[in-house]
């Protein structure tokens, strides 16, 4: 079954900070927020070993794999088989993150396999030129995130956000644009959505917060509020 990702959306990407019961509790909180605010799609990226448990414990979030390899069932020990994460419950996948980069050929093949299974693709791009290339490849969501800003608490400038949004929409207006560099507070989320992003997301701003559940809540509510105000 193919999921729908609508704007606005929020991605909680715990990377390898969380696993097991702690991850499950936050995923369930994200699920509660997705139910409370159905106008906002909430995605949670999940380490491979936890995908099945998170899927079984939630109903409203889009469970998202952190990577897949562009392989088919057969040989390939140690690789991430798309069918495997799909079977476990993932319906979207991150690709080409700065911490798991792909060659252009590898990215194209992984995107092809995801599309064959009906999985949504969230593809990372470091620059405006890279964003254009990923748009031509046909990503569902493009995460525009300068590598040097990841985890710094420094967000992308308004010029970068507006230029990447425009460059992508000129190629394909149906592609959703995610801006998430340096997001660390509800204020950052609000500003990013108001500047025109379709969605945003966060990792360490949530996992390192005094109360990750409260910060997750604050950020999702900021997405909803900013998008509502933007539409007026």
Q: Which of 79, 18, 81, 80 is nearest to 54 (CA)?
A: 18
Q: One of 4, 32, 67, 97 is an active-site residue; which one?
A: 97
Q: Which of 150, 119, 126 is nearest to 13 (CA)?
A: 150
For residue 10, what are the β-bridge partners?
A: 42, 200
pLDDT of residue 150: 46
pLDDT of residue 152: 46
pLDDT of residue 176: 97
> How much is the pTM?
0.93
Q: Which of 22, 115, 3 is nearest to 62 (CA)?
A: 3
21 assigned to active site = no
pLDDT of residue 149: 44
* Domain definitions of the chain by residue range: 9-230
97 assigned to active site = yes
What CATH code is assigned to 9-230? Answer: 3.20.20.70
CB 143 within 8 A of CB 124: yes
pLDDT of residue 90: 98
Mean pLDDT by 10 residues, the chain (232 residues): 91 97 98 98 98 98 98 94 98 95 96 98 91 95 71 60 89 94 91 93 96 98 96 66
Q: One of 145, 162, 170, 221 is an active-site residue; which one?
A: 145
């Amino acid at each position: 079954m193919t999921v729908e990702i609508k704007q606005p959306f929020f991605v909680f990407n715990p990377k390898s900070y969380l696993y097991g019961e702690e991850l499950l509790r936050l995923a369930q909180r994200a699920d509660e927020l997705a139910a409370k605010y159905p106008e906002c799609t909430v995605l949670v990226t999940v380490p491979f070993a936890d995908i099945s448990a998170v899927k079984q414990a939630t109903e409203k979030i889009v469970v998202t794999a952190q990577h897949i390899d562009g392989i088919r069932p057969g040989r390939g020990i140690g690789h991430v088989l798309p069918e495997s994460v799909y079977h476990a419950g993932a319906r979207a996948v991150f690709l080409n993150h700065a911490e798991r980069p792909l060659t252009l050929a590898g990215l194209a093949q992984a995107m092809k396999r995801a599309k064959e299974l009906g999985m949504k693709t969230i593809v990372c791009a470091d620059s405006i030129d890279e964003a254009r290339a990923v748009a031509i490849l046909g990503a569902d969501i493009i995460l525009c995130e300068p590598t040097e800003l990841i985890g710094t608490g420094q967000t992308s400038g308004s010029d970068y956000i507006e230029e990447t949004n425009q460059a992508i929409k000129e190629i394909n207006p149906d592609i959703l644009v995610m801006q998430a560099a340096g997001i660390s507070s509800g204020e950052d989320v609000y500003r990013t959505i108001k500047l025109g992003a379709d969605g945003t997301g966060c990792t360490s701003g949530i996992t390192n917060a005094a109360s990750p559940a409260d910060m997750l809540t604050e950020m999702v509510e900021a997405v909803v509020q900013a998008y509502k105000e933007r539409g007026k």
